Structure 1
């Protein structure tokens, strides 16, 4: 595994090179909130993290980027200690983690259905994950169809699409199509 500090430096370098990009980081709870906050501060990322005021409408990505915010940092369970380090499932709703290729259902997982951000978990539960599985399930005809079906079922378009092996299959083409943007290759 990559140490958190090294991963955050990679994220900082990526954001420096790509000022028009916004990342969502969901931290699993193997570190304390205090250690997580310290690592983000040491990596010089804390000032780029968006702190969402409770009860306020969410800004657009353009507004966030104009304000110098390139990160949403969420904790899977234990957050706190900084206004930008928030509990993930206070703002996210997600699909269940147990989908199989046979069903790829849109069954709710964690988070309240009224939460403003919708995370589509899209992978097969086999561990270790296999690139060959990702090529199949990340294909546009599978991924985009599921994203659109879940959007119709849930009444919300997924804001975040989580996959194994982002570079296998058609993730970016599918997300562009979901967002109504033309991709390099038109998704079905």
Structure 2
């Protein structure tokens, strides 16, 4: 499921609904309703500024576990 910001270049504001848990869960439910498919991969802008990981844990029924540390990609 693509969860991109619809403006380019994207504005890195922490108030973006796209990174809220409820927004991601709603989009996943929309995928099931409209396409009959449950998302098995979620790609999102600014995943580290909201609760995209929490939404994914909810969808995967993972409770009470901390996600793995996210390490920024570098080419060094």
TM-score by length of 1: 0.32
Deviations 1:13-40 (A, max 9, x none): xxxxxxxxxxxxxxxxxxxxxxxxxxxx
Listed as ranges, the gaps of 5+ residues in structure 2 are 66-76
Task: Answer 1 or 2: which has greater strand percent.
Answer: 1
Give the whole-Å Cα distance in 1 for the aligned partners of 2:64 and 2:35.
25
Gaps of 5+ in 1: 1-119
2:55 aligns with: 174
User: Structure 1 residues 128, 172: CA separation in 2 closer, same or farther (over 3 Å shift)?
Assistant: same
The change in CA–CA distance for 1:134 and 1:126 in structure 2 (over 3 A counts) is farther
Instruction: From the superposition, tell whether residues 134 and 147 of structure 1 become closer, same or farther in structure 2 (CA, over 3 Å).
Output: farther
Aligned partner of residue 151 in structure 1, secondary structure = helix
RMSD between aligned residues: 2.2
Deviations 1:127-170 (A, max 9, x none): 11122167421101111111122123222111111111120111
Instruction: Say which SS state the counterpart of residue 61 (structure 2) adopts.
Output: coil
TM-score (norm 2): 0.70
**Alignment length, in residue pairs?**
66
Partner of 2:44: 163
d(CA) in 2 for partners of 1:148, 1:183: 22
- The answer to whether 1:130 aligns with 2:25 is no
Choose between structure 1 and 2 for higher RCO, CA contacts under 8 A separated by at least 6 residues. Answer: 2
Structure-2 residue corresponding to 1:151? 32
Any runs of at least 4 consecutive aligned residues in structure 1 with deviations exceeding 6 A, and if so which?
A: none
